Structure 1
Amino acid sequence: MLRNSLGCMLLALLLVGCASQNTSNTDNGRYKMDKDKAPEEAPDLSHVQDAEPRYEPYSKQGNKDYEVWGQSYQVMPNAAGYSEVGMASWYGMKFHGHLTSNGEKYDMYAMSAAHKSLPLPSYVRVTNLKNNKSAIVRVNDRGPFHSTRIIDVSYAAAYKLGMLDTGTTQVRVEVIMTDSPESRAVSNSNTTKVNFYIQVFASSSKQKVTELTAPLEQKFSLKSRIEQRDDVYRLQLGPINNEDIASKMLDNIRQQGFNQSFMVRDGVPKTK
């Protein structure tokens, strides 16, 4: 029982991640500082670089729906297309060195941020609408748990946005998506001679196959087709133009419970 209780406590701490600068004293047991503040002797941040967007699979930690201080939050299944205007704040010394919601250590001198519902990690461009300064940050934490704010940026990002003195400012937050190798292979499939599909389901009932199409496309971020042969309907995901990537996708699909899946090689003429 004691081990289970300790595990639950650790999980709760990771879910909370960061909080806004104006939180109550309920988290004093975790943080040594009572209130957040800027570092007394900060390094030169004049040459700070934006976070460099790259493809990262969403982490297993920190991407489940959660509850903080009686408020429930739902995590987006995918960040694509997200854009929002609202108030931003920044967080610094109080949280420096503590674990973020996806298990990394918060570094106030790195270009990072916290968001209540974006999947972790995500890359976003934050634009200060008061001075038009912008910064690209990597979202790896949860917060700010303040109803009027949409994002908490690191001390370094706040410096670049010109909002250290004001503490808060109105911003626009826009997600920057980077395609996975699998997605790039799919997008290039119409220019290659050979494509690969992954057959995940077959049935004599077209209705059963059709009902699975949309959920599986969304789950695995792949298009699909239904092949009919000998009164059997076959649901196949793809196309994918790289055999190695298709093989990795097949392994992933099997691990998700579709143990009978297999790869199909399909000749496709080049597009002129």
Structure 2
Amino acid sequence: MNSARYVLPAILSVLLVACGGGTAVKPETGKAQPPSTQKAPSKKGGYYLDDGPGDNPPGDIDNIPDAVPRAETPLPRANRPYSALGHRYTPMTEHSPYKQRGVASWYGKRYHGQKTSSGEIYDMYGMTGAHTILPLPSYVRVTNPENGRSVVVRINDRGPFHDDRLIDLSYAAAYKLRLIEKGSGIVDVEALDANGKVIPLPQSAPPAQQSAKPLPAPPAERNAPTSTNAMNEPAVNQAVSGDYVQVGAFSLKANGDRLVETLQQQKLADNVQVENWYNAGTYRVRLGPYSSRQQAEAAAAKIKQALNTNAIVIRQ
């Protein structure tokens, strides 16, 4: 969604509702005419305000071609740090590895023809998307793990500004992934290079686990890797028992490292250790241990408010 659609945060916070499985979708507000090739959403989905499918959709949305990746320089004016709904975001300024699973929602006729954050005009039948931090413009592959359907979209807008959403898709992209009826759904998002390939980790950055360390830490110490095992798997840290705050879980170490750096820069560690902890194929960014669960819960609330991201308390 473009930035203009979030100027009424109070209305948004009241209208957002949850459907089955814990995913938030646009509340139903009247009847919108669906495209002829797909039945209207049921009561479990619905639309935000007067959004929804267009009145005269193309005859076969499934045949709309995916976005074609090409070399594009990120726009400086569209990738500056910004605030939305009381939260601060720092976009990526270069095309870097990114892979994450989360909730995708979509937007349609309410924003059709309006300007996106990149200055382009939003076309609900184009293959585009909105993301809070990916470079504008950039390309990603979005896959629905429930049915295996996959699309390539061009990220040219900012949003969604809700901590339970990962990406907003154009109507056409959501249709091809079969997310229209539900209103939202779990997807995998992977950044692509100019050739349409998943952006690999730099060769100079082996998949080694970042060491835990107290804050503040010198830059050299912050980037020091631990040893790896014989299978080139990152070493698993032996954590001290206690209450921790987990902020994110990633399949790529680089994404966890970026979050660790953000936590340190914004002084959100409260003099506890922060680490990109590896276990069972996943990098988990966590802070702790805290001296009490109450302190951990207070830290989690502070991080969620500052970064607009999920932060949960776990017991090690």
Q: Structure 1 length as normaliser, TM-score?
A: 0.54
Task: Verify: 1:83 aligned to 2:122, yes or no.
Answer: no
- Give, in whole Å, the separation in 1 of the partners of 2:5 and 2:67: 19
Deviation, structure 1 residue 17: 5.2
Q: Which has the higher helix share?
A: 1
Q: Check the 8 A contact 2:131/2:166 in 1, yes or no.
A: yes
The 8 Å contact of residues 58 and 119 in structure 1, kept in 2 or not, is answered as yes
1:142 to 158, 162, 166: 158
Any conservation in 2 of the 1:38–1:155 contact (CA below 8 Å)? yes
Q: Which residue of 2 aligns with 1:162?
A: 178
Deviation at 1:102, TM superposition (A): 0.7
Conservation of the 8 A alpha-carbon contact between 1:112 and 1:153: yes
The runs of at least 4 aligned residues of structure 1 exceeding 6 Å deviation read none
Letter in 1 for 2:91: V
1:39 maps to 2:26: no
Task: Quote the Cα distance in structure 2 between the aligned partners of 1:60 and 1:108.
Answer: 25
Q: Using a 3 Å threshold, how does the CA distance of structure 1 residues 130 and 89 change in structure 2: closer, same or farther?
A: same
Whether 2:70 is the aligned partner of 1:54: answer yes
Please give the alpha-carbon distance, in whole angstroms, between the structure 2 residues aligned to 1:132 and 1:23: 36
Q: Which whole-Å deviations, capped at 9, do the CAs of 1:16-51 have from their partners, x for residues lacking one? A: 2555xx98369xxxxxx9442221331121311110
Whether the 8 Å contact between 2:74 and 2:93 is mirrored in structure 1 is no
Quote the residue 1:228 is aligned against. Answer: none
CA deviation digits over 1:32-71, x for unaligned, max 9?
x944222133112131111000001111331111001211
CA distance in 2, matches of 1:59, 1:43: 31
Q: Supply the AA of the counterpart residue of 1:106.
A: Y
**Helix, strand or coil for the counterpart of 1:90?**
strand
How far apart in 2 are the matches of 1:178 and 1:120? 14
Shift in CA distance, 119/18, structure 1 to aligned 2, threshold 3 Å: farther
Seen in structure 2, the aligned counterparts of structure 1 residues 35 and 61 have a Cα distance that, compared at 3 Å, is farther
Whole-angstrom CA distance in 1 between matches of 2:65 and 2:131: 21
Paired residues of 1:88 and 1:170 also in contact (CA < 8 A): yes
- Assess, with a 3 A threshold, how the Cα gap between structure 1 residues 89 and 80 changes in structure 2: closer, same or farther: same
Question: Residue 38 of structure 1 aligns to which amino acid in structure 2?
Answer: P
Distance 1:24 1:122 in 2: 30
SS in 1 for 2:194: coil
Residue segments in structure 1 that go unaligned for 5+ positions in a row:
1-12, 27-32, 180-272
The answer to whether the 8 Å contact 2:130/2:167 transfers is yes
Shift in alpha-carbon separation, 1:51–1:159, aligned structure 2, 3 A: same
Structure 2, unmatched stretches of 5+, are 14-47, 196-316
Task: Name the amino acid aligned to 2:189.
Answer: V
Question: Would the aligned equivalents of 2:74 and 2:94 in 1 still touch at CA under 8 Å?
Answer: no
Structure of larger gyration radius: 1
Instruction: Kindly provide the amino acid, as one letter, of the partner of residue 111 in structure 2.
Output: F
The residue aligned with 1:248 is none
Contact kept? 1:126, 1:134, Cα under 8 Å: yes
Q: 1:98 offset after TM fit, Å?
A: 0.7
Q: Identify the structure with the greater strand proportion.
A: 1
What is the Cα-based RMSD across aligned positions, in Å? Answer: 2.3
| Structure 2 counterpart of 1:110 | 126
1:158 Cα deviation from its structure 2 partner: 0.7
Alignment of 1:141-220 (within 5 A): 141-178=157-194
Out of 73, 79, 88, the position equivalent to 2:89 is 73
